[in-house]
Chain A
Amino acid sequence: MATISAYSGFGIGLRRDHYRDFIAGDVDVDFVEVISENFMVDGGRPLRVLEQVRQKLPVILHGVSMSIGSAHGLDRGHMGKLKSLVDRIEPLWVSDHLCWTRTGAHNSHDLLPLPLTRASMEIVCENIDHAQHALGRAMLFENPSSYLTFPQDEMTEWEFLTEMSRRTGCYLLLDINNVYVSACNHGFDPADYLNGIPANRVRQVHLAGHTPGDIMIDTHDRPVCEEVWRLFETARRELGDVAVMVEWDDALPSLADLLAELGRARQIAGAARAELPA
């Protein structure tokens, strides 16, 4: 499987409220990320907008429905539509999540947690192999935030991701907010997670806001919290130049506010780079 070269840009999600700004081409980002499934359609305005934006910026296709953790395997219909979109858009890369979304008969449309077992590893790796073969390219997979762990877990999530990447050749999308949310929910040290991830396999970082509570929830509806910014600062020193993206899906702020949030990511990344030895 072909390698994915490091790319050091800064981007945000392409959301409907900001279509006009992006088509006009005056948004100060290096790339945009879109939810793949929103554009895996037969035709119409969404595809036309994406093609227009693609003429101006690199696009990352970020999926939510591949369900690589599904014991039922991949959905052929989904893979066929994704391949068509990949051929049409020629994205910077294609990503999805370490999760499952469906059984044979039912789709939850949520990123559900996997038991972190050897048995799960076999199925996840088999599904990733199929997906990367079908798309003819290596993919990135993101660590999800989770709200429960399983009694039968045999390894940590970072151990699972490391092994999964080693066996399949896939790359990692490190969502630092998800690390923080899961660390709070399950009582591990986020520094252990960051230290345990193979930095050389990470190609992208996600930053987002969450809703605090007894169980923290990954809601993407508010600014990145200070703890996550600090983790990003730490991670950036280890990861070096990777693509950085601010995710904001609900209660979307103005584009200016969103870009200000991305500006903070640029500033932190710049400072971290300055600290690195020449």
Chain B
Amino acid sequence: MTQLLRAQADFVACLLDESTPLPPGWDARRAAGIAVYRNAYRARLIDVLRVTFERTARLVGEDAFVQAAAHHLITNPPASWTVDLAGEGFWEVCTDLFADDADVGEVAWLEWTMHRAFTATDAVPMTLADFASATAGFDTGQWDGLGFELIPGTALRAVSFDLVKLWATLADPLNEVEVARLAEPKWVLLWREGEMPVFGLVPLAEGLALTEILTGGSFGDVCTILSNNVEASQVPAAAGGMLRNWIEIGLIIGLRPALQPTNQANRSNDTE
């Protein structure tokens, strides 16, 4: 190990833990100096988390938030060159630390995904006309295999609390916080509309369908998911209605080439 590698490793050890012995030859003045760096390190990163997780901080209160943030910095010390990622993993920390208040983990997840969506890659959503043109003349197999590219930053998760209301309530620090559990679980869908991340609650089936698409699933997979929730005869209309809505809200930026229908793939394997 070079001299400088060792010196920097020692310095970081002192920065992270004040009980670490100071390097040989360090006097009281240097001890005071490293205390300045240590305090600045902690204060800066807690401030970064406070800005990213503003509503989570309001929800749990200042003292509890600072404790959670300090815990996060110890268990997940920042490694990336960008301080933007210092909050990575914090919503999971909140989920664990506030296990009796599951709304905290949900709000922290929402703030983190909004933070990431804010600087996601720019893309132009498809219009209904674009979509109609791209899919004109599709046969059933092509529809079944059709995949979708969603606008960068799109994220989904199942939630138990009315995050729409909670988000609005937490916008103003003077508001009294109302935490309302949903009558039935839903999914929160987050995407970027122009420059701003937005979100809304969607029914369970739609959340599952979009999750399938995010992980590479096709329109046929969407129809399969819906078939568990609506009459078989209503599946095409229900799936078409959802798809139309996704296009209208600017969620879809492109189509992936239709895959070969499964039965044809099987048949070609049989002939080998």
Binds B, one of A36-44, A133-141, A240-248, A270-278: A36-44
Q: CA separation between A114 and B80, bound complex, in Å?
A: 20
Q: Which residues in chain B, 41-62, are within 8 Å of chain A measured between CB atoms?
A: 41, 44-45, 48
User: Taking A45-B118, A71-B8 as contacts, is the C-beta distance between A148 and B29 under 8 angstroms?
Assistant: yes
Q: Does B130 contact A (CB under 8 A)?
A: no
A70 within 8 A of B: yes
- With A40-B82, A78-B81 as contacts: A110 and B122 at CB distance below 8 Å: no
Taking CB as reference atom, which chain B residue is nearest A37? B82
Q: Contact string, B202-213, partner A, CB cutoff 8 A, digits 1/0? A: 000000000000
Nearest B residue to A100 via CB reads: B8
Instruction: Sample 25 A-B pairs with CB under 8 A, ordered by A number.
Output: A37-B82, A37-B84, A40-B82, A41-B84, A42-B119, A43-B119, A43-B122, A43-B152, A46-B119, A47-B119, A67-B81, A103-B9, A107-B78, A107-B79, A108-B15, A109-B41, A109-B44, A110-B44, A112-B37, A147-B32, A147-B34, A148-B29, A148-B33, A149-B30, A151-B26
Residues of B close to A112: CB separation below 8 A? 8, 11, 15, 37
Interface residues of B in 68-106 (CB under 8 A from A): 77-84, 86
Report the interface size class on chain B. Answer: 35 or more
Nearest A residue to B44 via CB reads: A109
Per the bound structure, the CA–CA distance linking A100 and B15 in Å amounts to: 13
Q: Provided the pairs A45-B118, A147-B37, A215-B33 are in contact, do residues A109 and B45 lie with their beta carbons within 8 angstroms?
A: yes
Inter-chain contact total with CB atoms closer than 8 Å: 120
Asked whether, in the complex, the Cβ of A103 is within 8 Å of the Cβ of B25, the reply is: no
Q: Which residues of B contact A (CB under 8 A)?
A: 2-5, 7-9, 11-12, 15-16, 25-26, 29-30, 32-34, 36-37, 40-41, 44-45, 48, 77-84, 86, 118-123, 152, 192, 195-196
A234 contacts partner chain B, Cβ-Cβ < 8 Å: no
- Shortest B88–chain A CB gap in Å is 12
Residue of A nearest to B32 (CB): A215
Roughly how many angstroms separate A103 CA and B4 CA in the complex, as a whole number? 11
| Residue in B closest to A72 when the chains form the complex, CB atoms | B5
In the A-B complex, the 9 residue pairs with the smallest Cβ-Cβ separation, listed nearest first, are: A148-B33, A41-B119, A43-B122, A151-B25, A147-B33, A78-B81, A71-B4, A44-B119, A45-B195
Chain A contacts for B29, CB-based, 8 A: 148
Distance between B119 CB and nearest chain A CB, rounded to angstroms = 4
| CB-defined contacts of B77 to chain A, threshold 8 Å | 106
Q: Which residues of A contact B15 (CB under 8 A)?
A: 108, 112
How far, in whole Å, are A212 and B121 apart by their CA atoms in the complex?
A: 43
Q: Is the CB of A108 within 8 A of B118?
A: no
The docked-state distance in angstroms from the alpha carbon of A108 to that of B2 is 20
Q: A150 with B80: in contact, given A44-B120, A44-B122, A112-B37 (CB under 8 Å)?
A: no
